[in-house]
Amino acid sequence: MSELQATDSGLKYRIIEPGEDPKPTADCKVQVRYRGWFPDPSDPTQGEQFDASGDQPISFPLGGVIGGWTEGVQLIGRGGKIELEVPPELGYGAQGYPGAIPPNATLRFEIELIDFAAPPEPGPIDDDAAEEFAETPTGLKYRVLRKGDGKSPTATDSVTVHYRGWFPDPADGSQGNEFDSSYGRGETISFPLNGVIAGWTEGLQLVSEGGMIELHIPWSLAYGESGRPGIPPKADLRFLVELMKVN
């Protein structure tokens, strides 16, 4: 059995099967089988198992898991298999994971990469899409980027959407730090339109099913003076939203 190799980050790995090129990137959604154990000091290939996927593969965005997995799974292609030794700083750190992973634990994994897919991208923009934002009496700013060919929702409808949200850069509001994205997760989301922030409730009624809209939402129509985890107080937000379906 070959020795583990180490990356600059401190991750140790051994490629059991390289798999087929290409390899996934951190923004891909991956499907894997795996098992994880606490390495025995006398024989790290053995130890107490703390988790396993079993026969059923699991899927997740590769950038949404511990750093050791995000880095390590990118080293193999479809059908590949890799063994990882993940140090605490690339695992669950000084906090651990209550009930499962103690603080400062080194972890060992064997991972088989079944499949992966690049994240979806927003669809096309109409050639005659508005370049300037319109503004409603509430202060919501919007521009329809693609006209839909279905019905428009009402506030009491449930909708299915793809979206990305970012903090607009003062110099160029079309750019900024992204804070959330269904594209990045590789999955649409569905929700009652009257169960989200007011800027979404109002804004999505301005576009038809199959359409795409860009919203500039003032903090008063978003998360207000308090903000929420990941959103600071009084934060204006920018969203690109594709209305996939009015349910």
Catalytic-role residue among 15, 16, 27, 50: 50
Catalytic-role residue among 51, 125, 189, 191: 51
Catalytic-role residue among 13, 34, 116, 163: 34
What pLDDT sits at residue 185?
83
Mean pLDDT of the chain: 96
What pLDDT sits at residue 184?
84
Which residue's structure tokens are 């990882």? 84
Active site residue 239: no
Residue 2 pLDDT exceeds 90:
no
Active site residue 223: no
Residue 186 pLDDT exceeds 90:
no
Measured CA to CA, the distance from residue 72 to residue 68 in angstroms comes to: 6
Active site residue 51: yes
* pLDDT class of 1 with cuts at 50, 70, 90: low
Active site residue 50: yes
Cα 33 from chain centre: 20
Catalytic-role residue among 66, 101, 213, 231: 66
Catalytic-role residue among 92, 163, 183, 239: 92
155-170 tens-digit pLDDT: 999 999 999 999 999 9
Catalytic-role residue among 76, 82, 109, 183: 109
What pLDDT sits at residue 119?
86
Measured CA to CA, the distance from residue 16 to residue 8 in angstroms comes to: 20
Which residue's structure tokens are 């804070």? 179
The encoded tokens of residue 88 equal 């605490």
Task: Give the number of other CB atoms < 10 A from CB of residue 38.
Answer: 17
Through-space distance between the first and last CA atoms of the chain, rounded to whole angstroms = 55
Active site residue 142: no
**3-class DSSP state for residue 48?**
strand
The residues near 242 (Cβ < 8 Å, ≥ 6 apart) are 122, 123, 146, 161, 162, 163, 211, 212
The encoded tokens of residue 155 equal 């506030």
